[in-house]
Amino acid sequence: MVTFERNDFYPIKNIIGTSDIIKKFDFDIKTTKISDDFILNDISSLNNLRDNSLLFLEKNHSININANMNILIITDDLNVFNSNKFKNILFSDNFKDVSNKLINFLFYHEDSSDYKDEFKIINNTFISKFAEVDKTAFIGNNSIIGRGCKIGKNTIIKNNSVIKNSIIGNNVNIGDNNSIGTTGFGFDLKLMGASNLTPHLGIVYIDDNVRIGSNCTIDRAKVDVTYIGKNSMIDNLVHIAHNVILGNNACIAAQSGIAGSVEIGKNLISGGQSGYAGHIKIGDNVIVAAKSGVTKNIPDNSKVAGFPAIDIKEWKNKIIMEKKNGHK
């Protein structure tokens, strides 16, 4: 698992303990069970529990929290609250709104108006004073390298690209006009509008020897990491959404889109204009034909085509039958 220091990217705005949170957000919190008072400075996910953190739990997942870890759980599920599994837990029936308020109160982030960065200007490129760029890396003109970013050895970032909230490995080649590390498209449909965007406090991690073409967008994760595996080749005009895990040696052709929280194994070959629905799993060594719409999990070593994507032999037979029946 990729690890990172959240405060490198999202500085703490307010220092507050669990007991103070109960007082400050008393209007939104219906009931509480608190055994420990500790300072909050991080966020946990189900896959990555962190000490002194918040964990937003919408339903009763089977997680075990080390007794020595200080984690404050916030839930809108009374079954979770009443389960007696957790020693520090708050219940709110206004869960999403409370989550957003808490994160906005605890952290500076780029979707809040009080977020600030400090830059040095080199070749018309703005590089944050809080970023680390290896001396062997090359950054082109009119680009932005934001707070906390790390750019590895021999990496090339060409012109007019924005790199924020990202760690870029060694020997990576990023083309012109890319946007990497921006906010994911995550929000509650009951809370529409820009002011109700769900804060994303994760990052993008691009591993070694990756090539990214031009005009691509890669969104940062909500809490953890959007990951691009080693030796992957990404063509122009590709969108990769928040929380995506892309395995090593992937090859993705132009005008493709991968929705949020998709997990893809190693050695993917994906044809142009392919689309992937969110929250699905794609196995190792999968081939996806051009213009396919992948809507469900795909097992290892599969070849799929069409919309919805099905086994490529089945798809070819379907096309043959349609032509026989007079379909064009």
Torsion of CA 78, 185, 167, 135, to 10 degrees: -150
Q: Verify whether residue 242 is a known catalytic residue.
A: yes
The active-site residue, picked from 109, 242, 279, 327, is 242
Omega of the bond leading into 199 within 30 degrees of 0 (cis): no
Residue 325, C-beta contacts closer than 8 angstroms, at least 6 positions apart: none
Active-site annotation, residues: 242
